[in-house]
Amino acid sequence: MTERARKTLVNLAKYGIVAAALGYLLWSGRLDLSHFRLREGGLNALVWAGLALLAQYLLSIFRYGVLLRAAVIRMRYAEIFRIGMIADFFNSVFFGGLGGDLVKVIYVTRAGGGRADSLACVFMDRLLGLLALLTLSGVALLVNAEQVFATPGLRSMAFFTLGLFGTFVLCVIVGLVALTRGRKLGLTAWAVLSAPILATALVQEPGARALLGITAGAVGLALCAALAAPSLLPGRTLDRFVSRLPFGDKLMSLVHSVLIYREHLGAVGAMFTFSLFLQLLVLLSLYWMAQAMPLANPPEFVHVFFAAPLAFLTSSLPLPGGGLGVGEFAFDQVLRSCKAGGLPVLGGAEIFLSWRVLGVIMGLVGLPWYLRDSPKSSELREMAAD
């Protein structure tokens, strides 16, 4: 099978998943198009939803600017703002979020930043957003632990989400210690942190095999991080080995650029905290959108706080339209496990899709900047090929 045929099949499969998810929502009646209108007196809630989402867009550009400067890419904030608005236009209006990331790299490279450093900044920006989302997901699951672990479907989702969050945090801590203080201290940190985690998993009820398996995987990956992290530094064993592989030199160039951030852990930590605030703005926007719609039993903010991070994790899958249909299904499914006034909370698919449309409208704010200075198709093709 040729490379072109393989890519075509992969794209068809991705669009098939989106079409199947949307088709199921319409066929099952979970996506009721009659709800796509304002309820009486719902204009104020819609305005607040738009303002919260717009604020999140603008403040995320500030986070990106801080990360650019930490990577020693000196640009004026006016220029960073322009690039951020164009990237938001691509992320919101076109199918998939990677388009905006690609545009960021093109414009920053144009302005004199190194391509590897530009990619590293985009990677770190995405990473902080994902970590903040995982953190909120973990908090939401723990706050609602009694309900979550009593519901079979949510129980398995909780194990997966908490396991993903715990694995990520453990690997980051152990890897950073190994990078900055050496492999011996990295292994010491791994042993100290892993022991209570394994002990907690072993004393769970026998039926919780998923928890034990996820914990074992997390501890194993953290051990790999402790052993491998120092070897990623320039000139070390793993760096030399990977650099000899096809495209390995480009990969290690990106890794070295990402490793620059170990010298700016204060800025990274501050931007992680800032990312939590940005995620809360998104949740507020989604909650106000629900209040603007004519739903019989709209969710309270605690329900949105519980369901939205899980839906956003699902929407982060590399599918067209940012997981169009899949995120709607996840949000609707989790909301149905919640109760407001003793009744299940319905309408999650309509809320999420309406909020997604609002995001497209907000993204159009970046259209004037894009029209004034759009990247050439040759630049897009060259960057995508690299």
Measured distance CA(10)–CA(3) in Å, rounded: 11
Domain with 273 in it: 39-385
Is pLDDT at 95 greater than 70 in this prediction? no
* Domains of the chain: total: 1
* pTM for the whole structure: 0.80
Check residue 141 and give its pLDDT.
Answer: 73
Structure tokens, 132: 């903040």
Which range among 50-59, 336-345, 357-366 has the greatest average pLDDT?
A: 50-59
Q: How far is CA 106 from the centre of its chain?
A: 22
Is pLDDT at 178 greater than 80 in this prediction? yes
Domain contains 2: no
DSSP string, 272-307: HHHHHHHHHHHHHHHHHHHHHS--SSPPPHHHHHHH
Measured distance CA(348)–CA(340) in Å, rounded: 13
Is pLDDT at 259 greater than 50 in this prediction? yes
Check residue 286 and give its pLDDT.
Answer: 92
Q: For residue range 3-22, list pLDDT tens digits in order.
A: 667 767 766 776 777 778 77
What mean pLDDT comes out for the span 153-170? 73
Check residue 322 and give its pLDDT.
Answer: 65
Domain contains 115: yes
Check residue 210 and give its pLDDT.
Answer: 62
Domain contains 12: no
Cβ count near 64 (within 10 Å) = 23
- Residue 270 is inside which H or E element, if any? helix 265-292
Domain contains 338: yes
Check residue 50 and give its pLDDT.
Answer: 92
Domain contains 23: no
Q: How far is CA 165 from the centre of its chain?
A: 12
Q: What percent of the chain has pLDDT over 70?
A: 82
Is pLDDT at 189 greater than 50 in this prediction? yes
Domain contains 21: no
Is pLDDT at 191 greater than 70 in this prediction? yes
Instruction: Out of 17-31, 308-322, 337-351, 360-374, pick the least confident.
Output: 308-322
Domain contains 6: no
What mean pLDDT comes out for the span 357-371? 82
Is pLDDT at 97 greater than 50 in this prediction? no
Domain contains 114: yes
Is pLDDT at 362 greater than 60 in this prediction? yes
295-329 exposure pattern, b = at least 16 Cβ within 10 A, e = fewer: beebbeeebbbbbbbbbbbbbbeebbbbbbbbbbb
Q: For residue range 44-77, list pLDDT tens digits in order.
A: 999 999 999 999 988 999 998 888 888 767 788 8
Measured distance CA(132)–CA(271) in Å, rounded: 10
Collapsing DSSP to helix, strand or coil, 178 comes out as helix
What mean pLDDT comes out for the span 85-90? 83
Average pLDDT score, the chain:
79
Residue 138 or 349, more confident: 349
User: 1 falls in which pLDDT band (50, 70, 90)?
Assistant: low
